[in-house]
Amino acid sequence: MKRLLLSSVLVGFLAACASEPAKEEVKEPVAASAAAEPVAESAAPAAVEASAPVGEQEVAMPDSNSVFFPFDVDAVQAADRDTIQAHGAYLSKNSSAKVRVEGNADERGSSEYNLGLGQRRANNVRKALILAGAKESQIETVSFGEEKPRASGHDEESWAQNRRADIVYK
Amino acid sequence: MRMRSYVFALLGMFMTISAQAALEIEITGAGEHQTPISVVRFANEEQVAGQAVSTVVSNDLLRTGLFKLVDPLGKAPHEPGDVRYAEWPGVEALVIGSVRTLDGGKVEVRFRLLDAVRQSELIGLAVTAPGDQVRAIAHRIADLVYERLTGSAGVFSTRIAYVNREAKHYRLVVADSDGYGEQTLLSLNEPIMSPAWSPDGRQIAYVSFERGHATVYVQTLATQKRRVLADFSGSNSAPTWSPDGKQLAMVLTRDGSSQLYLVRADGSGLRRITFGEAIDTEPAFSPDSKWLLFTSDRGGSAQIYRIAVEGGYAERLTFEGKSNFSPRYSPDGKGFVYSHYNGGVFYIATQDFESMQMQILTTGGWEKKPSFAPNGKLILFATESQGRGILSTVSSDGRVKQKMFAQRGDIREPVWGPFSKQ
């Protein structure tokens, strides 16, 4: 548990450092884009990795794409607030950018329960991103449950890595 | 196949059989009463390729824990007239027989089950089959012997399904109940989960990630043809068939969290059963088709619930441990088996509806996804040994345990198939 908290705090801290510029722009209204969502559909291919798409407002891509969860918990943790805010701001400023939120779980529990848990984690990250300025149409979700672990050990260190949602730019 | 070692442990017999093919089998424990039986080498059985009939029959019977196999010590009668009962003290039953190759590549196996106490014949039968199906004949003989001597139906001719994972490579596999005769139904570099047999044993529903997210497929074994049963946005998973095979229960997240749905076998008539914000998953039909058991975290932790198939109030059934998963009814509908998680360890447990008492059957480990053999006497589940996923069985009274080690990969998500139609 200690290790988990440490890594979450660390991620939160890094995200906070990286997202300083983005934070200011979050204060801007989220435009009147909520209803007219198809605008982004035909836009040019979305951002690749850390570079913003050409012609769109330059907003730094957040450093961390992962948020972490305690055991059997699907609520986004305070430690990841800055990561969520940064991605929400980025998506708000880059309306053609799209992400897939991938929910994962550690191997404790049944594979089907963990598939459900990963989906809830992804859904909650999606909600948080929308609250942080992203549009619904920019985010899809998927759960990999316990099927695609980042770390393969049967210990808390690995499990903490695997209780995770990734924000993946398409 | 040869016996590799006998080790007598405090808890009972411990035996390892080194199989030439896919699996290595280890059996521990023994039934309360073991019938002493001798399976004599069949005449000419070595002339047919593959494992000898008498070896397959012996191993099937041994794995139940209900029999003590007595070494014939060189005696080899093949006909009742050859048997001198005075030479078999302490043996209650004798299996004898012969194998004969027929024209056209066929094989005839004749066998007799003899009551060595009453000195009478209990079964006498001749079975003819293509030469490559001698193992199937041997399993059938073991079924007949088991049925006659225990009064329960044998499950040696049934099949099991599971997922074999090697690194990121997944295979959906069907095999005989003893792990031989592996047949790969699907091979992917994406996860495969939750195989489920149709009640007639002809189709398997499962979850595959080949479309980028969990999608439910149904595949026909004989033709290998498959179709998508559910591909809604989000996760489509946990398929399970109704006893009449006309519909399936499954789990969708298209409306938010994992919820239970019913769908006809052709994919039409989708109907939602649970309406909540919690995770509801792993539905399993009762044998009378009236109820669904399922796993839900609606009470704060994952526990087993029961709901009428038409929906409504869900009754919580498990209260012990940190959480409980993967319920399945016993074939007689009087109880269920599940994976019980407590103190960082998973156990296989059963519970009957009358007493509602949990009975833990195993010593604990990474024990998941239990399912009953169709005669209700054995439970198949996934566990880990030496860092690898393996198959294991435990008798439904918890006395006899068996581990089956695959030579390659991790075995996950096993499920025991129905009785085969003979």
B108, B124, B150 — which closes off a domain?
B150
Residue A140 banded pLDDT, cuts 50, 70, 90: very high
**Is B165 a member of any domain?**
yes
**Is B301 a member of any domain?**
yes
Closest CA to B69 of B44, B93, B99, B96: B93
Residue B282 and residue B302 in one domain: yes
Rounded mean pLDDT of B82-104?
94
**Is B16 a member of any domain?**
no
Rounded mean pLDDT of B346-365?
96
Residue B182 and residue B283 in one domain: yes
**Is B60 a member of any domain?**
no
Residue B125 and residue B273 in one domain: no
Q: C-alpha dihedral over B275, B279, B282, B286, to 10 degrees?
A: -40
Query: Cβ separation of B256 and A123 shorter than 8 Å?
Result: yes
B293-306 pLDDT, tens digit each: 999 999 999 999 99
Q: How far apart are CA B294 and CA B259, in angstroms?
A: 10
Q: What number is the ipTM of this complex?
A: 0.90
The pLDDT of residue B287: 98
| CATH number of the domain to which B345 belongs | 2.120.10.30
Residues contacting residue A139 through CB under 8 Å, at least 6 positions apart: A91, A98, A99, A100, A101, A126, A129, A130
Rounded mean pLDDT of B321-346?
97
| B302 at interface of A, judged by CB pairs closer than 8 A | yes
**Is B339 a member of any domain?**
yes
H or E stretch covering B162: strand B159-166
Q: Are B137 and B143 within 8 A, CB to CB? A: no
Residue B177 and residue B118 in one domain: no
DSSP B275-286: -SSS-EEEEEE-
Closest CA to B194 of B239, B227, B226, B260: B239
A161 SS3 class: helix
The pLDDT of residue B353: 97
Alpha helices in chain A (DSSP H): 2-18, 20-26, 81-93, 111-131, 156-162
DSSP B17-69: EE-SSSEEEEEE---SS-EEEEEPPPBTGGGSSSS-HHHHHHHHHHHHTSEEE
Residue B389 and residue B262 in one domain: yes
Closest CA to A133 of A21, A57, A34, A12: A34
Q: Identify all chain B residues contacting A113, using CB atoms and an 8 Å cutoff.
A: 279, 281-282, 295, 297, 302, 325
Is A2-26+47-169 a domain of CATH 3.30.1330.60?
Answer: yes
Among A131-140, B76-85, B115-124, B175-184, where is mean pLDDT lowest? B175-184
Rounded mean pLDDT of B177-202?
95
Q: Evaluate if residue A50 carries a pLDDT over 70.
A: no
Rounded mean pLDDT of B118-143?
92
Rounded mean pLDDT of A25-51?
37
The pLDDT of residue A53: 47
**Is B27 a member of any domain?**
no
Query: Cβ separation of A113 and B281 shorter than 8 Å?
Result: yes
pTM: 0.84
- Nearest neighbour of B279 by CB, restricted to A108, A116, A142: A116
Residue B25 banded pLDDT, cuts 50, 70, 90: low
> Token pair for residue B374?
């169709």
Structural domain for B46, as ranges = 34-55+65-150
Percent of chain A whose pLDDT exceeds 90: 61
CA A112 to chain centre: 22
Q: In chain B, how many domains are there?
A: 2
B220-275 pLDDT, tens digit each: 999 999 999 999 999 999 999 999 999 999 999 999 999 999 999 999 999 999 99
A149-163 pLDDT, tens digit each: 999 888 999 999 999
Residue B179 and residue B100 in one domain: no
Q: How far apart are CA B399 and CA B391, in angstroms?
A: 17
Rounded mean pLDDT of B86-104?
94
Residue B137 and residue B183 in one domain: no
Q: Evaluate if residue A7 carries a pLDDT over 90.
A: no
The pLDDT of residue B421: 60
**Is B28 a member of any domain?**
no
Rounded mean pLDDT of B76-91?
94
Residue B222 and residue B239 in one domain: yes
Q: Identify all chain B residues contacting A142, using CB atoms and an 8 Å cutoff.
A: 212-213, 234-235
Q: Are B174 and B186 within 8 A, CB to CB? A: no
Quote the minimal CA–CA distance from A141 to chain B in Å. Answer: 7
Question: Which residues 165-184 of B have a C-beta within 8 angstroms of A?
Answer: none
Residue B254 and residue B298 in one domain: yes
Query: Cβ separation of B325 and A147 shorter than 8 Å?
Result: no
Percent of chain A whose pLDDT exceeds 70: 65
B128, B150, B172 — which closes off a domain?
B150
Q: Average model confidence (pLDDT) for chain B?
A: 91
B123, B150, B177 — which closes off a domain?
B150
**Is B298 a member of any domain?**
yes
Q: Across A5-158, where does the E strand assignment appear? A: 66-68, 99-104, 139-145
Residue B256 and residue B390 in one domain: yes
| CATH number of the domain to which B123 belongs | 3.40.50.10070
CA torsion sign, B164 to B169 to B174 to B175? Answer: negative
Residue A93 banded pLDDT, cuts 50, 70, 90: very high
The pLDDT of residue A27: 35
Residue B215 and residue B122 in one domain: no
Higher pLDDT, A153 or A124: A124
Q: Evaluate if residue B22 carries a pLDDT over 80.
A: no
Closest CA to B309 of B262, B268, B244: B262
Rounded mean pLDDT of A103-120?
97
Closest CA to B344 of A149, A32, A109, A43: A109
Q: Identify all chain A residues contacting B366, using CB atoms and an 8 Å cutoff.
A: 154
Q: Evaluate if residue B64 carries a pLDDT over 70.
A: yes
Q: Identify all chain A residues contacting B193, using CB atoms and an 8 Å cutoff.
A: 111-112, 115, 145, 147
Q: Evaluate if residue B340 carries a pLDDT over 70.
A: yes
Q: Average model confidence (pLDDT) for chain A?
A: 76
B131 SS3 class: helix
B399-411 pLDDT, tens digit each: 888 888 777 889 9
